[in-house]
């Protein structure tokens, strides 16, 4: 199993409910462990932690578990 980190640029206008992908996704790295991928994201310049961040391993695991339950 491998984990890839991607970057994309999205234009967001919440007042008008407009969301548009402008560039990407472009690969930034590939990792053997989820923890390494998340650590890479947290180390990026300008990264700001938040409770919903994909770099939070607990959030990633919760999301994957929810997907698995939907598929069963």
The pLDDT tens digits of the residues spanning 27-39 come to 999 999 888 888 8
In sequence order, the 6+-apart residues with CB closer than 8 A to the CB of 45 are none
Q: What percent of the chain has pLDDT over 90?
A: 36
Tokens of 42: 């947290």
- Alpha-carbon distance 28 to 51, whole Å? 22
Residue 34 phi/psi, 5-degree rounding, is -55, -40
- Across the range 62-72, mean pLDDT stands at 63
What are φ and ψ of residue 49, in 5° steps? -70, 140
The band of 62, judged by pLDDT with boundaries at 50, 70 and 90, is: confident
For 67, counting Cβ atoms within 10 Å of its Cβ (0-12 exposed, 13-18 middle, 19+ buried), the class is: exposed
């Amino acid at each position: 199993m491998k984990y890839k980190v991607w970057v994309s640029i999205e234009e967001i206008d919440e007042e008008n409910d407009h969301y548009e992908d402008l560039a990407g996704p472009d690969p930034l790295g590939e990792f053997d462990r989820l923890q390494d991928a998340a650590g890479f994201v947290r180390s990026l310049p300008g990264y700001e932690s938040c409770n919903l961040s994909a770099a939070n391993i607990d959030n990633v695991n919760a999301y994957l578990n929810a997907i698995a339950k939907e598929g069963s």
